[in-house]
Amino acid sequence: MKRVAILISGGGSNMVALARSMTGAHPGRAVLVASNDPKAGGLAKAAEMGIATAAVDHRAFGKDRAAFEAALLEPILAVEPDVVCLAGFMRVLTPGFVERFAGRMLNIHPSLLPKYPGLHTHQRALDAGEAQAGCTVHEVTPVLDDGPVLGQARVPVLAGDTADSLAARVLVQEHRLYPAVLRRFLEGDRTPVFLSETA
């Protein structure tokens, strides 16, 4: 059984989708949910699901990202994860942290990468007049939102969309895509999977 640690910053809906998927014959189990924000709503959800949790408040470390990451690393290493999943995790990670989990750290990003890496992706897609939007699961490398693509799901941009309405449509697909990619990844399959709203 592969041990999966999940890093979150917020509500944790992707974390819940991943954790729910990892039951029965699934090759993985969620062994830790960790957050940089002690108030992240996902921590309580994880605890309710019986998953160990950890919180390391990045604000206590000021601008010292390496010190924050050293503190975050402790509970992660303690559970000996095979794979680390970023799921709405909002702190850029330094190369030192990323390299510890090279080839076994995934992220879900709410755009069709390589378009719109970084923040505020939905507003940027709307401002550019895109007809389609979506989400991408990729391997995490030291370069932000840049690693090999493991899967993408597309949605249409609809007339009258706002960043919030588009984000909600994309999030439904995130909850399908990330569990599908993680299962394949744990089975050793890194060929990308492509989903759309209808298939």
Taking the complex as a whole, how short is the minimal distance between the CB of residue 191 and ligand GAR, in angstroms? 22
State the nearest-atom distance from the C-beta of 74 to ligand NHR, in Å. 19
- Tokens 């408040």 locate to 57
Q: Which residue has the tokens 């917020």?
A: 10
Give whichever of 89 and 185 is closer to ligand GAR, judged by the CB atom: 89
| Residue number, 27 or 41, with CB nearest to ligand NHR | 41
Minimum distance from CB of 108 to ligand GAR (Å)? 5
Nearer to ligand NHR, 66 or 92 (CB): 92
> What is the contact surface with ligand NHR in residues (CB under 6 A)?
86, 89-93, 98, 107, 109, 118-119, 140, 142, 144-145
- Nearest residue to 5 via CA among 51, 67, 71: 51
3-class DSSP state for residue 15? helix
Identify whether 109 is a catalytic site residue: yes
- CA 111 – CA 161 distance, rounded (Å): 15
The full 3-state SS of 44-87, as one line of letters, equals HHHHHCCCCEEECCHHHHCCCHHHHHHHHHHHHHHCCCCEEEEC
Residue 140 binds what, of ligand GAR, ligand NHR, none (CB under 5 to 8 Å, by partner type)? ligand NHR
Q: Which residues bind ligand GAR (CB under 6 A)?
A: 8, 10-14, 42, 87-88, 90, 108-110, 135, 171, 174
Cβ atoms < 10 Å from Cβ of 100: 15
Least CB distance from residue 111 to ligand NHR, whole Å? Answer: 8
Which option in ligand NHR, ligand GAR, none does residue 13 bind, with CB closer than 5 to 8 A by kind?
ligand GAR
**Are the CB atoms for 12 and 45 separated by under 8 Å?**
yes
